[in-house]
Structure 1
Amino acid sequence: MRLGIVSGRRRHGKSYLLRALSEAVGGLYITAVRAEGRLPALQRFSEAIATHAGLRPGTLNLPDWRAVLTNSLDVMARRSETPLLIIDELPYLLQHSPELPGLIQQLYDEHQWSEGIGARVILCGSAMSVMHELLSGTNPLRGRAVIDLRLGAFDYRASRDFWQIEDPLTALHVHAVLGGAPGYRPIAGRPSPNDGFDEWLTHTLLDPGRAVYSPTETEYLLREDPRITQHTLYYDILTAIANGAGTPTKIGSALGRQRNAVTHPLDVLESTGYIHREQDILRPRHPVITLADPVIRFNQLITLPQETSVEQGFAEETWKSSTPTFNSKILGPHFEDLARTWTRRHAHTVLPNGLPGPVGTTEVADPAARTKHEVDVIALALGERPHSPRARIALLGEAKATAARRGTGDLQRLERIRDLLTEQGYDTSGVTLALFSLHGFHADVVELARGRGDLLLVDLETLYGV
């Protein structure tokens, strides 16, 4: 017997893929239902096993979960050369049947010495914290799974291909509000983003009648994890982070609470994948906390502050008035994040020394100017570790999503940062200076790039590989 764990956020396509896998090998796919009681669940699972075995409805009425598991494995062993059982949305079952992991562990141990091809069992769920705990600590299934697959969203390039968006700028805008979750495309409906981003947005995320309406979707996502109970507190925390509060102290201050009052909720949000902590690559300072889900960020910054207007049907007016907020607090940070993603995944094709090491952000003090320079993108050389005092730096980059083109002034700022890092003992002898721009570059810096091997210009087409 072999055991696999599959987890991932809603809309990432887990159930779609598992159903296809089950159909391909003649397996048994059963999904749990939210708020379903223990007895109805046992009855429904019994019916699914009977149907799979070719029996009449009502033939099986299994009394407990051990009987359900044993009978499902027996039926599959008789009907398929590759016995496969898939239990989707397992966390719903655990709410009323916490003994399931222990029963699966017993069956797993009993089947290790059986002859022939053993059963393959896949457990899947969207409640990330619950699924991660299945294999942790002293839990029964620890050390028994051969697969622990955490299915993520598409990256920005795959997302553009999936949505079939022609214009890279439109693709960037769509990714900034929905991310790469493939499940949004079928429920977004018409119009297509190719018909115009503004029209598409007002008919999807700002349309209360659509399933992808951002307050509805945010509530739907947050209710997936049983650890998120005080929804008002979590909403307030997400709003504070969206507005730029990036540390527990600042988040607590924005909510009028002490730092320790938000520590546990932040741990829950991180374990469930709603926030992430961006580490400073050069110095061991407190990490900056940011929102991981673009839909939630859009909801907290755009929809919620003007929810009354949206609900009354003024989507176009709401969106027009929100454009400055979108550009500064959503599109700008998102473009910087994609610049770091491009550096991790694609920069090796153009960097002189190939694949870089750790990629992130940092802040560089400039004592002479009595200021600090924020670095949007910094990559250490391959093999270097973050926070090493004399690390080799492979790339320094500046990413700006403004309408202005980038020029020599931006280059001079990067050169100043490079010189400061050299003075602080870092090895910048092989550093590449990268300018990331949403709307291209001035002719002077383009001309400089032709004659300099240490200057890299990355426009939107380069970012998307078109």
Structure 2
Amino acid sequence: METFWNRQRELETLRAWSGQEPRFGVVHGRRRLGKTALLRHWLHGVAGCYVQATEGTPVAQRVAVAEDMRPVLPGFADVAYPSWRALLEALRRQWPEPAPVLVLDEFPYLVQSAPELPSILQSMVDAPDARRFPLVICGSSQRMMQGLVLDSAAPLYGRAQFLLRLEPMPVAEIRRALGLPDAVAAVEMYAAFGGVPRYWRLVREGQYSTAASALDGLVFSPGGVLHEEADRVLRDEQAAALERAVCELVGRGARRPSELAARLGVKETTLAKPLRHLADLGLVQRQAPYDFASGQPVAAGRRAFYRLADPFLAMWYACVRPYLSGLNMDAPSARRHARTAWSHQVAAVWEELCRQRWHRLEHGGIEWEPAGRYWVSREPSEGEWDVAAVSSDRRHVFLGECKWMRDVTRAKVEAAVRTIRQRPVPPLPGAPRVHLGVFLPRTDRLPAEIDGVVILDAERMLGEE
């Protein structure tokens, strides 16, 4: 059985659906996030039949699906079905009572060879007796799945009783899943492999004790299982050539649309659609300066930039792609450069995690809005605060700086505190109380506050979900 890590909220959605009058549901998300493990774990508690579709001709696929029906309908595969409509209508007629759930995993494989299949399923889902044939479709090609169920022109649009999109696992879970010794190790491992259960399993099976050793064995090594993983991820998502080029440039530091357009030799307006597609797929993320009045990033403006949303892809493009030729030759210099780039990547992920998790802390007994990043000019380095947030009542503002250092000393922290206190506070609406903070990997033997600046560490930031 596949390794199954905590997906309690997703399980609750599936269990609630199957406990009512289930007809049709959809599960989708990037490959390797654990969709199959989730569905099989759920089916241990409900009556159901799981079908794993594969690529192939329509005839071969129908034969395979019919064979998978044997646990529910023993004689079903003894008949040859000339079309998908014939097979599905036969299934509906013979489906037992009480009705088990039919799960069609990797559904896009079937649609690729039989484009008529969504329309056939539409007629079944719309039928008055649809509850006699409860169906869940699942797929890893987000672009195709979104086109099948989210496009208003698609036959299955608006018919799903639930649309469950699996997201990467949270950082707090990686510590429990891999038995990591502390929050620092969890941040480093998450910066390398993100929230992807498949990668976690490879780390565990390889018995890697640190993120650095796991990267050496799985990614930097030319024989590593994940050495070319970024290319596979984009291929799975059917990314067009321009989208792949955008991902690479963003991963290597080109962040603004104007800079991307200049490097690609295209008009900036040409990038609007590929950037939107990549954002919809969860591969890139638009970031804009934090607005203290609304408590959200600025909706529009020229100061926005893009970053790779997935830590593994960001690591791969920053640490592997620039040195790929040398890594393929197993050159020691290339390995050293990759490791150096990796140290910068950890700092970037730590900063993003601090923003993501700040509002969970309720620091000072205050309810905080989700945090963002503040900067003044088109370059985030000018007038920047790594973590900026307002309280729900707008009476408090938090401004913080993130530091990732292996050797945390009192002298270094006091220097960081002095820098923070000298930095000008942005213009703020009203007269809120300003709280200052610094985020560090560890705070051993340090006070909770120095000169009015709160000291926060990875243990507190990761906490419990």
TM-score range, shorter chain: 0.7 to 0.9
User: Is residue 212 of structure 1 aligned with residue 226 of structure 2?
Assistant: yes
CA distance in 2, matches of 1:6, 1:425: 43
| Root-mean-square deviation (Å) | 2.7
Q: CA deviation at 1:237?
A: 1.8
After superposition, residues 240-319 of structure 1 pair within 5 angstroms as 240-282=249-291, 283=298, 284-286=300-302, 287-314=304-331, 317-319=333-335
User: Is residue 181 of structure 1 aligned with residue 196 of structure 2?
Assistant: yes
Q: Which amino acid aligns with 1:221?
A: V
The alignment partner of 1:153 has SS state of coil
CA distance in 2, matches of 1:448, 1:399: 15
Partner of 2:361: 347
Q: How many residues align?
A: 428
Q: CA deviation at 1:446?
A: 4.9
Q: CA deviation at 1:190?
A: 5.1
Q: Which amino acid aligns with 1:397?
A: G
Which stretch shifts more, 155-164 or 301-310? 301-310
Q: CA deviation at 1:438?
A: 2.4
Cα shift readout 1:380-431 (whole Å, capped 9, x = no counterpart): 2226xxxxxxx655321111224464534534554455x643xx34245233
Q: Mind listing any 5+ residue stretches in structure 1 that lack a counterpart? A: 366-370, 384-390
CA distance in 2, matches of 1:339, 1:280: 16
1:458 to 456, 459, 463: 456
Partner of 1:429: 432
Check the 8 A contact 1:73/1:85 in 2, yes or no: no
Check the 8 A contact 1:174/1:193 in 2, yes or no: no
Identity %: 24
Q: CA deviation at 1:289?
A: 0.7
Check the 8 A contact 2:35/2:166 in 1, yes or no: yes
Partner of 2:100: 83
Check the 8 A contact 1:127/1:272 in 2, yes or no: no
1:359 to 371, 379, 384: 371
User: Is residue 448 of structure 1 aligned with residue 437 of structure 2?
Assistant: no
- Flag the 1:138–1:351 CA change in 2: closer, same or farther, 3 A: farther
Partner of 1:118: 132
Check the 8 A contact 2:355/2:370 in 1, yes or no: no
User: Is residue 381 of structure 1 aligned with residue 383 of structure 2?
Assistant: no
Which stretch shifts more, 84-93 or 295-304? 295-304
2:92 to 52, 69, 73: 73
- Flag the 1:23–1:442 CA change in 2: closer, same or farther, 3 A: closer
1:45 to 65, 79, 84: 65
User: Is residue 60 of structure 1 aligned with residue 71 of structure 2?
Assistant: no
Partner of 1:368: none
Q: CA deviation at 1:182?
A: 0.8
- Flag the 1:352–1:429 CA change in 2: closer, same or farther, 3 A: farther
CA distance in 2, matches of 1:393, 1:413: 21
Cα shift readout 1:16-71 (whole Å, capped 9, x = no counterpart): 1112223432312112213x122211222122224531127x51212222222233
CA distance in 2, matches of 1:436, 1:96: 52
Which stretch shifts more, 164-173 or 149-158? 164-173
CA distance in 2, matches of 1:431, 1:124: 47
Check the 8 A contact 2:258/2:268 in 1, yes or no: yes
The alignment partner of 2:286 has SS state of strand
Q: Which amino acid aligns with 2:86?
A: A
CA distance in 1, matches of 2:401, 2:407: 14
Which stretch shifts more, 249-258 or 84-93? 249-258
Partner of 2:5: none
